[in-house]
Amino acid sequence: MTKLGRGLEALINNGPDSRDQITGVTTLRIRDIVPNRYQPRRQFDPEKLRELADSLRENGIIQPIIVTRREDDLYEIVAGERRLEAAKLANFREVPVIIRSVTPKEQLQFAIIENVQREDLNAIEIARAYQQLNDEFNLSHTQISEIVSKDRATISNFIRLLKLSEKIQLQILAGELTSGHARAILQVSENLQEEFAQIIVRNKFSVRRAEMEARKIKERGSVTPKRSRSGKRQEILEMEKELSRKYQIRVKISDKGDQGKILFHYNSQDELDKLLRKL
């Protein structure tokens, strides 16, 4: 197995198919270059792409795009697809390239490494890429971890995200949920996951808050907290008891979702004075 975790340097240096024997760099017309069929990234940030295009107009393409030649005389990207898209925006007709002969597995590996090392991929895109290495090339999680220089548990955790529903995966791809949120969602029953995901998004939960809520959901078996005969959620009743104990005075909480009131009931000026001192 090729160890590629150190990056793309080994791919760039002294390629046998490179045109220029000294630099290894040649140029190709953009219309002769096609996307990497194994590219794990499915979408590019338009704003960042425009920024890169502006930089290319000013400075040119400093790092060549790596391509491989196909049987139909077109060239398929191995690494550098974002640079190619930016070059199109900048109205370039040609781009500098290094031509290499690579296998389909290496194409996927290089695409993953380029994106993961630069933290360009979304968690679901990374998960799908790792799964593709597993499915199409029969690589174990341990072998994948060696290729991308990540520990095996990290690979397994990413792939677990694909157990989430398509709806939740789309929320992660859209940036509404992070991989941390996704791991919290995976802790609850499958039939509760989409409802829980909506609550996380609607209330803008942090990952820590999502993890806390996941534990509560597992304990009670539902996303919505159980309510007492009075109609109050059990956790609100517990808060009332805790505040009453702490301040030695009757406390009532009026709860309406994300809003409410905390009411302190006192029966004398002395009780009020003691309460104010404690507060």
Is 71 tagged catalytic? no
Crossing angle of helices 166-173/123-137, nearest 10°? Answer: 120
DSSP secondary structure string for all residues of the chain: ----TT-SHHHHTT-TT-SSTTT--EEEEGGGEE--TT-------HHHHHHHHHHHHHH---SPEEEEE-TTS-EEEEE-HHHHHHHHHTT-SEEEEEE----HHHHHHHHHHHHHHTT-S-HHHHHHHHHHHHHHH---HHHHHHHHT--HHHHHHHHHGGGS-HHHHHHHHTTSS-HHHHHHHTTS-HHHHHHHHHHHHHHT--HHHHHHHHHHHHHHTSSSPPB-TTS-BHHHHHHHHHHHHHHTSEEEEEEETTEEEEEEE-SSHHHHHHHHHH-
11's CB contacts (< 8 A; 6+ apart) are 4, 66, 78, 79, 100, 102, 110
Q: Considering 9, 51, 58, 81, which one is annotated as catalytic? A: 81
- Catalytic positions, written as ranges: 81
